[in-house]
C-alpha cells in the first residue's frame, strides 16, 4: 500500500459548521412566523369551542361556588349541538353558564354570562310553593322537589318567589343555590337552550377547594 493510499484511509468526513444563509435562515424565519400565527388561532379555537376558564363574580351560587373561584367550563356539548343542529339539554342539577340579556331592568349590565343550576327541563312545569321548588313532569305528575332529590340540595336556603311556569320544548328553568341573593329564572324567566355556553366541570382555584362537578 502506498503512502497516498494510507493517508486517504484516515480522513473522516465532517459536516460544515455553518450552513449557507439561504438554506438555514429562511426555514427558521418561516417556522417562527407559523408559530406566532398558529398559537393565537389554536387558543381561540379552544376558548370558542372546547373549554374556557371563568372567575365567579358574586354570591348567587354560594355555598357551592364562592366569589373569585376559578372554574373550567366544558363547551364541547354545546359546540357539537351547533354542528349537528341538535338541541343540547343539560342534566337536572348541572351548573351551566349561559348568555342572558335584558338585565338592565334589574340594575345590572344589560347582558352578562351567568352561572346557575338547572332546575327544570323542557316540557316541565316549575312551581315555587311554600319556600321550595316543585317540578311536575310525566314521571312525577304529583310533583317533586329537585333540591331534596339531588346531592347539591343539602344546604339550600328557602326559595322565595311566586312562580308557576310551563316550559316549552326549548326552555330551561335555572336558579342560583343562594336563593335569597340570586337573580335567576324566578325574575327573568326561563332561558332558551341556545343561550347555553357550557357546563361547569371543574373548580381549579382555590387549590384546597378543587372539585370535579
The DSSP result for 124-159, as a single string, is: -EEEEETTEEEEE-SS-TT-B-HHHHSGGGGG----
Q: Are 74 and 197 in contact (CB under 8 A)?
A: no
Query: What per-residue confidence (pLDDT) applies to 190?
Result: 97
Top pLDDT among 161 and 23 is at: 161
Query: What per-residue confidence (pLDDT) applies to 47?
Result: 57
Query: What is the overall mean pLDDT for the chain?
Result: 84
Written as one string, the DSSP assignment of the chain is --HHHHHHHTPPP---SS--HHHHHHHHHHHHHHHHHHHHHHHHHHHHHTEEEEE--SSTTTTTS-TT-EEEEE-HHHHHHHHHT----PPTT-EEEEEE--GGGGTS-SSEEEEEEEEE-TT-EEEEETTEEEEE-SS-TT-B-HHHHSGGGGG-----S--EEE--TTEEEEE-SSGGG--SHHHH--EEGGGEEEEEEEEEESGGG-EE-
The pLDDT of 113-125, averaged and rounded, is 97
Sheet with 125-129, side-by-side order of all strands: 132-136, 125-129, 164-166
The pLDDT of 12-31, averaged and rounded, is 54
Query: What per-residue confidence (pLDDT) applies to 126?
Result: 97
Q: Are 136 and 143 in contact (CB under 8 A)?
A: yes
Q: Which domains does the chain have, with CATH numbers?
A: 50-212 (2.10.109.10)
Query: What per-residue confidence (pLDDT) applies to 52?
Result: 85
Note if the bond before 11 is cis, omega within 30 degrees.
no
Least confident of 20-34, 100-114, 160-174: 20-34
The pLDDT of 138-145, averaged and rounded, is 94
Least confident of 22-26, 64-68, 150-154, 194-198: 22-26
CA distance 203 to 55: 10
Query: What per-residue confidence (pLDDT) applies to 142?
Result: 94
The pair phi, psi for residue 150, each rounded to 5°, is -120, 155
The pTM (predicted TM-score) of the whole model is 0.78
Amino acid at each position: 500500500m502506498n503512502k497516498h493510499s494510507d493517508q486517504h484511509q484516515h480522513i473522516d468526513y465532517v459536516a460544515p459548521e455553518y450552513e449557507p444563509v439561504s438554506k438555514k435562515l429562511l426555514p427558521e424565519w418561516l417556522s417562527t412566523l407559523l408559530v406566532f400565527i398558529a398559537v393565537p388561532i389554536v387558543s381561540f379555537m379552544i376558548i370558542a369551542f372546547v373549554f374556557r376558564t371563568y372567575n365567579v363574580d358574586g354570591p348567587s351560587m354560594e355555598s357551592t361556588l364562592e366569589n373569585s373561584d376559578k372554574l373550567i367550563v366544558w363547551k364541547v356539548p354545546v359546540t357539537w349541538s351547533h354542528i349537528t343542529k341538535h338541541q343540547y339539554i343539560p342534566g337536572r342539577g348541572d351548573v351551566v353558564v349561559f348568555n342572558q340579556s335584558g338585565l338592565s331592568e334589574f340594575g345590572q349590565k344589560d347582558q352578562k354570562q351567568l352561572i346557575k343550576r338547572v332546575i327544570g327541563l323542557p316540557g316541565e312545569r316549575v312551581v315555587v310553593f311554600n319556600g321550595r321548588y316543585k317540578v311536575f313532569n310525566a314521571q312525577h305528575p304529583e310533583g317533586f322537589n329537585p333540591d331534596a332529590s339531588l346531592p347539591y340540595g343539602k344546604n339550600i336556603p328557602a326559595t322565595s318567589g311566586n312562580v308557576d311556569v310551563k316550559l316549552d320544548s326549548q326552555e330551561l328553568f335555572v336558579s342560583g343555590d343562594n336563593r335569597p341573593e340570586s337573580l335567576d329564572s324566578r325574575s327573568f324567566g326561563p332561558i332558551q337552550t341556545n343561550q347555553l355556553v357550557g357546563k361547569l366541570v371543574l373548580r381549579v382555584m382555590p387549590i384546597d377547594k378543587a372539585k370535579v362537578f
